[in-house]
Structure 1
């Protein structure tokens, strides 16, 4: 794809073959940074974008000490890449109208496949730099055998399967149909499922979403505040958008910068003092390793990710309670009652985190019912579930299902929880002893796929073992 003359720098296609991959990368980066400068991204002179000192691909490094609360750069809203700012915005408005509430990401994906195949796209320097599909290695690109071998029992495999099914359906029934109706705009190169799939991965790994109800002056991708929205706004989050420069920053759970949304621009602001030579890290939110791998293609080494979690499926809790309590008819009645109360629904899970069971209210309510005697259950149902009006919180406000408090639970509760943990441990793939040995040796011989999958498995096992230990 030839570049517009105004760029002044060559694209990869214009670069002589004798140039090294490193030189090509430098040319792409220089072109992108010039593009940012021309559009007044106002990058602080105290930072630089580079590959050498970044933890992955490109990153931003501090060249002079920066205090907390300082703006590192801004992105004017007209240069966010979305269906509304795309050069085919007028056509995409029609797509949005035709698809209605079912549009989802499709308008953005249509914008991306068009701009990516448009040599004159105003986002050409950005799209030449990212996405680097050779580095974008989400599990959706792994073979099914790799996912089964490396990710079994972690929840990632199931999530990827759902994604691929939905992706193919959306492409065939929405995106491709629309592109075939507008062949004067969408070339045959745009009408490729493989390209569409790559663009889905691009959106998953690089996009930002402005929190619903906080369209201005709000924290952006990964602020962890999405749950603050009112219940009536649930499901009304705006679609994602691409944010050049902000998406170059890498992620760690203990970030030092954060994107904030404002009326005219988006600002990346330091959240604490950053010393010269340190990398600037944004955060994608309170994200467990399995979600990091699923959505972004990497995971953090235990115990760096203090947001790591593991799911305990409802089916596992049911099975553990049945084994512990017996009385099949009474247990069936309890399960039916809990479902009527919108609790303990098949296909859902309870969440175990670094401090204990995070979905503690739901788990407490369910365990109470599951261990009741016939008489207690009869009284409970007669009062429609209100027989335990007192608070379950400890005097200090902590949850009785934290690792610290679990040892104080009734022995029956602990036996059920311990059995749940043991079942979940048995379902995680890989060899636990080999995984532990690999972690202790520094996993230096592993491929990136094997290493990140190891981090997911190892972290989940550590949490489950911690639950077993707390229940003894």
Structure 2
């Protein structure tokens, strides 16, 4: 604890020297799992707790202006060897190993271990067996290791030589740390364009006007190696009028922990009229919770399911109302089917989706909702035109069907028979004429497929996919009831979940294991409930189609 206080003291001095202001808050150490947090300290009439100059943000632009490694990074970026996210991770990897780094007081405050699944031990990962997250974690870790061996290690060591640290050895763990720091702490910051493109400033990217324009326009030469999993999906640097959105780390603001009922939000003050500090980010009270005495100031990371929370941030929320289930039909399987070319063409015409997230909230408008409150019409299928020639009546249960139309569209096409395929093409030909006057619209193709196929084939396939998913989940870690019993015992025996809890009074359960059980139990519950919806809808579809 003494070492944490020493780090904090140096960091606070560093913030003050660089123009930051803690007006109505203080930063303090919480525990080993949460690290540091921000707490209210006194009343602030204007609601502004903390002000951080944008010059302190670590962004791709800041990397390019570094006096020692900036020119080399600029060259990599200009040539498309790195994109902006990769550039940030590379910079963090190097700065952590760089002696006398100007960012050392901040970097020393950052966690060295994470609860995200990339940091799970082999035993921890076994708790996720059968889940989507288990496979995603294995794939991402493998791809990051390949990226490190083939690219990161060489580039990082090159930059360390330029920084005067040729003896520093770069390990995979250093890059894994940088990757986790970026994904757990980076914000999408709306920089004023006047700040990004200002001239005559020591904080402008030097002669790299072209590099800055590329960042502002999202022209980042996306690195294909970084386009892996849901963590890496390309640039978030875009220009919108007088605002340029750039991902970056903001020391101080990033110590706010997550709560769905956020106590604060962050804003940008370009002119300095609100904070007295031009080009700054400030932490503002959300006005939800009165701050009397010391209370933690939280922000919201957004509505996220436990799969995303555990994968990126390393924690879960029990009974998470934003949980979701991934349903996926592999497109590769279509190539082995009869008439695969025709089906793939129809899928493209309809913009059907074979991979779909099913949020828990969909169940509120289904056949078996948890709530007894009045339900609205299912917005997933609102506006779908079921009519083509009028030979098939719209389903009577459409407003209670929880599965999105884009998924049903795709699966209708996948299960199509030869007769149905010919019927679709015949209907479309009659609709638009046999010539080349025009192509059928997306909605016309969907309606023709619906009229030829109905819903029973697609719903049967959904039932099969959900049965397969449940089988994988239960083979990996047992039943939903088993998980519920584990959590019940853990709640009773180990209330301190931030450190350790117990599954039965004698065998301890690690925090990672507890989070895994919460996540996988939620997946089993959603699979069971969506399966019930699919089976009931299938019965109705078969009855009406017969």
Question: Normalising by structure 1, what TM-score?
Answer: 0.73
Instruction: Please tell me whether residue 24 in structure 1 is matched to residue 6 in structure 2.
Output: no
The CA deviation string for residues 162-183 of structure 1, in whole angstroms up to 9 with x for no partner, is: 3323323333343332344452
Aligned pair partner of 1:366 in 410, 415, 432: 410
C-alpha distance in structure 2 between counterparts of 1:123 and 1:231, whole Å: 26
* Aligned 8 A contact 2:260 2:302 in 1: yes
- Report the counterpart of residue 94 of structure 1 in structure 2: 72
58-67 or 268-277: bigger deviation:
58-67
| Aligned partner (choices 94, 97, 115) of residue 114 of structure 1 | 94
Q: Report the counterpart of residue 395 of structure 1 in structure 2.
A: none
- Mapped to 1, the partners of 2:192 and 2:420 lie a distance apart of 46
Unmatched tracts of structure 2, length 5 or more: 196-216, 221-232, 238-245, 271-278, 364-379, 381-402, 429-438, 448-453, 492-500, 503-508, 537-546
Q: State the number of aligned residues.
A: 405
Q: Secondary structure at the match of 1:251?
A: coil
Tell me, yes or no, if structure 1 residue 451 matches structure 2 residue 517.
no
1:350 Cα shift? Answer: 0.9
Supply the distance in 1 between the matched residues of 2:510 and 2:55 (Cα, whole angstroms).
40
Equivalence for 1:267: 282
1:426 aligns with 2:471: yes
Q: Deviations over 1:141-185 (max 9, x none)?
A: 2234532x1222322233323332332333334333234445242
Tell me the residue number matched to 2:495. none
Q: Write the distance in 1 (CA, Å) between the matches of 2:333 and 2:261.
A: 36
Evaluate the alpha carbon distance shift between residue 421 and residue 253 of structure 1 in structure 2; reply closer, same or farther with a 3 A threshold: farther
Is the 8 Å Cα contact of residues 207 and 241 (structure 1) preserved in structure 2? yes
1:38 counterpart (1, 7, 17): 17
**Distance (Å, rounded) in 2 between the aligned partners of 1:342 and 1:138:** 37
Query: Superposed, which structure 2 residues align to 1:1-400 within 5 Å?
Result: 22-45=1-24, 47-52=25-30, 56-63=34-41, 70-86=47-63, 88-89=66-67, 91-99=69-77, 100-104=79-83, 105-130=85-110, 132-133=111-112, 135-147=113-125, 149-182=126-159, 183-185=161-163, 186-210=165-189, 235-238=234-237, 240-263=247-270, 264-276=279-291, 277-303=294-320, 306-315=321-330, 329=338, 332=340, 335-341=343-349, 343=351, 349-356=355-362, 360-370=404-414, 376-382=420-426, 383=428, 386=441, 388-389=443-444
Distance change (3 Å), C-alpha of 1:375 and 1:96: same
Contact 1:354 1:463 in 2 (8 A): yes
Q: Secondary structure at the match of 1:61?
A: strand
Work out the CA distance in 1 between the residues paired with 2:219 and 2:170: 37
CA distance in 1, matches of 2:194, 2:525: 40
Q: Verify the 8 A CA contact 1:138 1:294 in the aligned structure 2.
A: yes
Q: Secondary structure at the match of 1:59?
A: strand
1:102 Cα deviation from its structure 2 partner: 4.0
Match of 1:227 in 2: none
**RMSD between aligned residues:** 3.8
- Once the two structures are TM-superposed, the CA of residue 262 in structure 1 deviates from its matched residue by 4.8
Structure-1 separation of matches of 2:531 and 2:218: 35
Asked if the contact 2:26/2:38 (under 8 Å) is kept, the reply is yes
Whole-Å separation in 2 of the counterparts to 1:66 and 1:442: 40
- Unaligned segments of structure 1, at least 5 residues: 1-21, 218-229, 323-327, 393-408
Corresponding position: 1:417 with 2:457: no
Cα distance in 2, alignment partners of residues 97 and 257 from structure 1: 39
Aligned to 2:483: 435
CA 1:391–1:73 in 2, change beyond 3 Å: closer, same or farther? farther
The CA deviation at 1:296 is 1.6
CA distance in 1, matches of 2:312, 2:35: 17
Q: Quick check: 1:154–1:290 contact (8 Å CA) kept in 2?
A: no
Contact 1:113-1:190 at 8 Å conserved across structures: no
Most deviating of 444-453 and 356-365: 356-365
